[in-house]
Structure 1
């Protein structure tokens, strides 16, 4: 995701909690949480904090049990392909862009042809979130079984830890 230069706009303005982590990085962290089953026990990262005081781009390495690693990037001033990869010992998967509302993925391995799986949307890709929220509300549920509150809170805590590592605080904190 790449924005133009607008220091008063929501993406670059610290008064509006701008920056890549809170705008698009949350998707990378939620994806990692889905793939690895929760928050990382250990992580390290680097970010470029631009002249407005928000993170314009960041790279994160998350370490999980069993030697599993998540390598994530996000940014609002950097052109990125918006794909996600998952690599295993036998196969890999590429989630097509934009990975947070993909319409397909490719499965591959060193010794087989790639397989493309199409996942077309009925609308814009966000309809599934909206439908699930409506189902929860109609069912009287205040928590989703797809994205439980504990998982959401763990992702927020991970983002807070990353911002602390970068020395990034917003004026309202």
Structure 2
């Protein structure tokens, strides 16, 4: 397998974890990094032994030194950067959520198809060996009919109101950042839900801090999910079936172990001993797809990504959370500050 040359846009926390795991990739090299801050770019390049450091995203996007670009900046910048990569003919692995809404995502996947460029949302959890094992167990009928999923992703976010997680201008809130994981898990097994309910706590900066999501399917399955920026939780996932259940150990989205428990309480546990957090597996998948000449991954396809963001759009609509420049699907005008205020007035019972 030839060494695929990668570039990274962004030097924040997620870029660091990704770069740390990159040394475990089967066939790839980190050639370049870009940050709008020269010091950050240089430091990052030095830390991970990366040859090229750019102070401008577009210099990296247009560089002949890289074939694939990993985008690791806040959600609101994804759309413009992915678009620029596609137009420059560069393959893209873009952090989740791929964009802030379905309209943007659809436009980018259409553009990628038109330009025949590989694009994938970086749903790294999908490629974790534990998740692969769970998919196999469910497909083989090991727990009979899978009928419900419970999953959480909670952690304590920084309290600085300007932090990207709390900043509405940056696409902040629990749902897009971490709620996407439990929703992804439910849709991996059941597909797009037919019913969506959500109870959310909207904080002082007008983004969702905590939510409990109930998804339902006409064929009879349910998923009970939660995401929080203000609580601690074991962050386990349980898949319940007619013959037993599967528990994915803490923290389920980057787990190294899982167990299957039969109706008579016999337990079988599996542990995978992989290094790092497991970001190398999504890189291996991108490299494999490129070698096979694919423009999307069959394991996390454009359709999978679109169905995921469509559900997140519905959940946000349910709590009246819109980002600047977005149109309320029920309106034909953009929200300005006053509209946002009105919206939160209606949802004041969610306020704390």
Q: TM-score, normalised by structure 1?
A: 0.93
State how many pairs are aligned: 172
Contact 2:196-2:314 within 8 A present in 1 as well: no
From 303, 306, 325, the counterpart of 1:150:
303
RMSD: 1.3
Aligned to 1:26: 180
Aligned to 2:316: 163
Counterparts of 2:195 and 2:247, CA distance in 1: 25
* Richer in helix (by share): 2
Contact 1:101-1:126 within 8 A present in 2 as well: no
Aligned to 2:202: 49
Choose 1 or 2 for highest CA Rg.
2
Gaps of 5+ in 2: 1-154, 327-352
More displaced, 135-144 or 52-61? 135-144
What is the deviation of 1:110?
4.0
From 222, 226, 240, the counterpart of 1:69:
222
Q: Does 1:104 align with 2:257?
A: yes
What is the correspondence of 1:115-154 to structure 2 with a 5 Å cutoff? 115-154=268-307
Gaps of 5+ in 1: none
Counterparts of 1:42 and 1:60, CA distance in 2: 10
Counterparts of 1:56 and 1:120, CA distance in 2: 34
What is the correspondence of 1:84-103 to structure 2 with a 5 Å cutoff? 84-103=237-256
Aligned to 1:10: 164
Q: TM-score, normalised by structure 2?
A: 0.47
Counterparts of 1:137 and 1:51, CA distance in 2: 45
What SS is found at the alignment partner of 1:53? coil
Counterparts of 1:148 and 1:48, CA distance in 2: 32
Counterparts of 2:175 and 2:213, CA distance in 1: 10
